[in-house]
Amino acid sequence: MLEIKNLIKQVNTPSGESLTIAKVEELNVASGEQMLLVGPSGSGKTTLLHMIAGLIVPTGGMIQCDGVVLSDLSLKERDQWRAKNVGYIFQKLNLLNGLTISENIGIAAHFAGRNDKTQIRKETLALLDLVGLADKANSRPNRLSIGEQQRVAVARAVINKPKLILADEPTASLDQANVFIILELLKKLCHENNSKLLLSTHDQMVMSQFKLCYQVRTQEKVTA
């Protein structure tokens, strides 16, 4: 279970005001559940996903995932927890052009502390096959179309069978056919691994494909 309570992220503006850029009173996602984060651009979806992944520290509130309270972890422990338990599909993908596609995926297994190279290679190739990119294993990310890169990012996010998959607008800039490929893939992998899926979007078509939805509040100013 992912449990979020009274979560808030505030930043200081140059004029000295405190600005709330993300806020969640209560959000629970059970294992196997697939939840949308919906809100317009600038409403705080990416900030929220970064807090859940432990990439940025909230100003207040609590995030607990499968019994682990994030704020109890040191920076190093948070990095280790994320590498093992979270599959993050970044809005900007963050694929490494210096590495091949299969290396981009394999490195996520390495970061999770796995050393079984043969097994990782086997799983990587199976995932590439699943996302329809078996023939691109040795290509560099910048040689692939955006739709193909999105599928690599999905494969990289799920190589460790994470209990929590965070997908930040994973279908933005895709054509309709690729939107369905990515969504079906995420749903299938989430179901197989009994993972929790949190997927942010502002796309009506994506919204129509999911039952659970959390509306992210638009940012608001708070007096200093």
Ligand X SMILES: Nc1ncnc2c1ncn2[C@@H]1O[C@H](COP(=O)(O)OP(=O)(O)O)[C@@H](O)[C@H]1O
* Residue selected from 1, 11, 146, 222 as contacting ligand X according to rule CB under 6 A: 11
Q: What whole-number distance in Å separates Cα of residue 63 and Cα of residue 215?
A: 18
Q: Locate 175 and state its tokens.
A: 């054509």
Residues 6+ apart with CB under 8 A from 177: none
Residues paired with residue 88 on neighbouring β-strands, in sequence order: 166
Residues 12-51, one symbol each (x = binds Mg ion by CB under 5 A, - = not), give: ---------------------------------xx-----
Q: Is 45 in the site for ligand X (CB under 6 A)?
A: yes
For residue 186, the minimal CB distance to ligand X (Å) is: 18
Q: Is 21 in the site for ligand X (CB under 6 A)?
A: yes
Nearest to 203 by CA among 45, 28, 86, 53: 45
53 in Cβ contact with 222 (< 8 Å)? no
The residue among 43 and 124 lying less far from Mg ion, judged by its C-beta, is: 43
Q: Is 46 in the site for ligand X (CB under 6 A)?
A: yes
Residue found by looking up tokens 């200093």 in the block: 224
Contact residues for ligand X, defined by CB under 6 A: 11, 21-22, 39, 41-47, 219
Contact residues for Mg ion, defined by CB under 5 A: 45-46, 91
